């Protein structure tokens, strides 16, 4: 009897066949290397797959996903992905992509204990705390969660701008940071228009001077 996981292997076979039928060199070309223009920092939610919802192909988006699309300055996974994407892949745009109906955001709005994950979601509670006047004034809980989702994305974009990695990229080239929210109910991305392309619009305490360009690190063998 076929178990449910075998559905994925079957699906993969038909995926590979359909790509090859359109372009016999599709995988041969992909295997040569990647040159994506975008780094996507999104939620792990199964309903928000980066390529599928943007109609893009393999090779176009470098992806990092975690619960509630957070940019935490001690997260070595995120920082490694970010450095690699910016320094070596030289992506031109980084988008933090939240989504309405995010379980992480909704949970962070409650006081119910869930375990280890509460320490991760604490970052969203901080966003709530910083915007509590605005959020408490929204009586509808879904609307309040939606606004917190947007504020969380804006804060994570700011967190990206505060990293030495992004500021080192800005020391030598253009790099654009964007904040987006995806609607599960309509399939559409809302651009929050919180573009950062220099450290000028972040609080001065987070701006570094004498920043060495990232390319200084690249060892030429």
Helix axes 117-130, 141-162, angle to 10 degrees: 100
Q: Is 148 in the site for Co ion (CB under 5 A)?
A: no
From 74-82, 85-93, 95-103, 149-157, span contacting Co ion (CB under 5 A): 95-103
Q: Is 45 in the site for Co ion (CB under 5 A)?
A: yes
Q: Nearest to residue 30, comparing CAs of 11, 16, 13, 12?
A: 16
DSSP-assigned letter for residue 43: E
Q: Toward Co ion, which CB reaches closer, 108 or 165?
A: 108
Binder to Co ion among 43, 50, 135, 151 (CB under 5 A)?
43
How far apart, in whole angstroms, are the C-alpha atoms of residue 10 and residue 101?
31
Q: H or E segment at 107?
A: helix 103-108
> Is residue 99 annotated as a catalytic residue, yes or no?
yes
Q: Is 121 in the site for Co ion (CB under 5 A)?
A: no
> Is residue 47 annotated as a catalytic residue, yes or no?
yes
First to last CA, the chain: 54
> Is residue 196 annotated as a catalytic residue, yes or no?
no
Q: Is 70 in the site for Co ion (CB under 5 A)?
A: no
The minimum distance between CB 99 and Co ion, in angstroms, equals 6
Helices (H), 116-214: 117-130, 132-136, 141-162, 164-170
**Catalytic pick from 37, 47, 191, 217?**
47
Q: Toward Co ion, which CB reaches closer, 83 or 104?
A: 104
Locate 192 and state its tokens. Answer: 């929050």
Q: Is 150 in the site for Co ion (CB under 5 A)?
A: no
Point out the residues that are catalytic.
Answer: 43, 45, 47, 99, 102
What residue ranges bind Co ion (CB under 5 A)?
Answer: 43, 45, 102, 104
């Amino acid at each position: 009897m076929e178990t449910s996981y075998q559905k994925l292997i079957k699906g993969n076979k038909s995926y590979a066949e359909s790509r090859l039928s359109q372009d016999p060199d599709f995988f041969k070309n992909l295997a040569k290397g990647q040159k994506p223009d975008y780094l996507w920092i999104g939620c792990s939610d199964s309903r928000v797959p980066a390529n599928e919802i943007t109609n893009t192909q393999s090779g176009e988006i470098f992806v990092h996903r975690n619960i509630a699309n957070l940019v935490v300055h001690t997260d070595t996974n995120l920082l490694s992905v970010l450095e690699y994407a910016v320094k070596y892949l030289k992506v031109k745009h980084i988008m933090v992509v939240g989504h309405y109906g995010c379980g992480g955001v909704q949970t962070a709005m409650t006081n119910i204990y869930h375990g280890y994950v509460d320490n991760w979601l604490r970052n969203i509670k901080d966003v709530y705390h910083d915007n509590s006047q605005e959020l408490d004034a929204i009586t509808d809980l879904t609307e309040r969660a939606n606004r917190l989702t947007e504020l969380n994305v804006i804060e994570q974009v700011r967190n990206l701008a505060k990293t030495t990695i992004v500021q080192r990229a800005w020391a030598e080239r253009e790099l654009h940071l964007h904040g987006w929210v995806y609607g599960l109910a309509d399939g559409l991305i809302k651009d929050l228009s919180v573009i950062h392309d220099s450290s000028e619009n972040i609080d001065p305490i987070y701006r570094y001077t004498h920043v060495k360009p990232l390319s200084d690190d690249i060892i030429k063998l």
